[in-house]
Amino acid sequence: MKRLTLRELLFLALCCDLGLVSKRLIAPAANAVTGLLRIPGGIGTGFSLLFLTVACELVPRFGCGAAMGFVQSMIALMTGRVGSMGALSPVGYTVPGLVIDLVLLLGRRFGLDRRDRLVLSGMAGSAAAALAANLIVFHLRGVPLALYVLVAATTGALCGLPACRIVRLVSPVLSARPEPERRNGIL
């Protein structure tokens, strides 16, 4: 298996951080909407997973999403920002990443176009994150659970559209060949 380049690793690390930061940035607005709907969340996670889908689409290796989710959970644990999930946050972060990996892999295999792949992976990843959070923290049942998962899935799917745009913009930059290294002024 081909090893990841330094450029790809740096891009994955950047997307990990952007995912974590964006969740914090969008939290006040997301909480206002989920408060109105009387559900405990679902929007912030869908938005933060946008960066995971972008990274997994641009670095198409199976396991990238799961690894990024795990790294995010470690960052969250080390900075004490795990919220109500506590020590189980690695599960809550890694499961959506793994689902994104799977959906993108199947999407490529079945020849789905990029936009469909990103929308589907965002939707499935967000729904998986909501289900994991429900299992670990919320323990919702019935209609509140259905609404919570649907809100998460819809947010994830909608975030697939900007993800597609970002992939189009970043793709040429990430795939560009690096300048040849000069040694003693000789190429």
Partner 1 sequence: MVIPMKKTLTPRLLLTLVLLTAAAAAVHLACASETVPGALVLEADGKETAFSPDTLPVIPVEGEIVNGRDEVRTVREEGWALGDVLKAAGFDPAGLASVTVLAADGYSAAVTGGELREEGRVYLLRREGPSFRLIVFGDPDSRRSVKDVVRLIPEKAAEAAVPAA
165 binds partner 1 (CB under 8 A): no
Which of 102, 106, 147, 174 forms a contact with partner 1 (CB under 8 A)?
A: 147
**3-class DSSP state of 183:** strand
Which of 61, 88, 106, 154 forms a contact with partner 1 (CB under 8 A)?
A: 154
From the CB of 176, what's the least distance to partner 1, in Å? 28
CB 132 within 8 A of CB 95: yes
146 binds partner 1 (CB under 8 A): yes
Which of 8, 26, 106, 115 forms a contact with partner 1 (CB under 8 A)?
A: 115
Q: What DSSP string describes 77-116?
A: HHTT--GGGGGGHHHHHHHHHHHHHHHHHHHHHTT--HHH
How far is residue 13's CA from residue 28's CA, in Å, rounded to a whole number?
25
106 binds partner 1 (CB under 8 A): no
Of the candidates 109, 107, 149, 146, the residue with the CA atom closest to the CA atom of residue 129: 149
Which of 2, 3, 38, 182 forms a contact with partner 1 (CB under 8 A)?
A: 38
139 binds partner 1 (CB under 8 A): yes
From the CB of 132, what's the least distance to partner 1, in Å? 16
Q: Site for partner 1 (CB under 8 A): how many residues?
A: 37
Residues 6 or more apart whose CB falls under 8 angstroms from that of 183 comprise none
Which of 18, 25, 91, 161 forms a contact with partner 1 (CB under 8 A)?
A: 161
137 binds partner 1 (CB under 8 A): yes
CB 9 within 8 A of CB 89: no
CB atoms within 10 A of CB 37: 13
109 binds partner 1 (CB under 8 A): no
Residue type at 142?
A: G
Where does this chain bind partner 1 (CB under 8 A)? 34-35, 37-40, 80-81, 83-84, 86, 112-113, 115-116, 119-120, 123, 137-141, 143-148, 150-151, 153-154, 157-158, 160-161
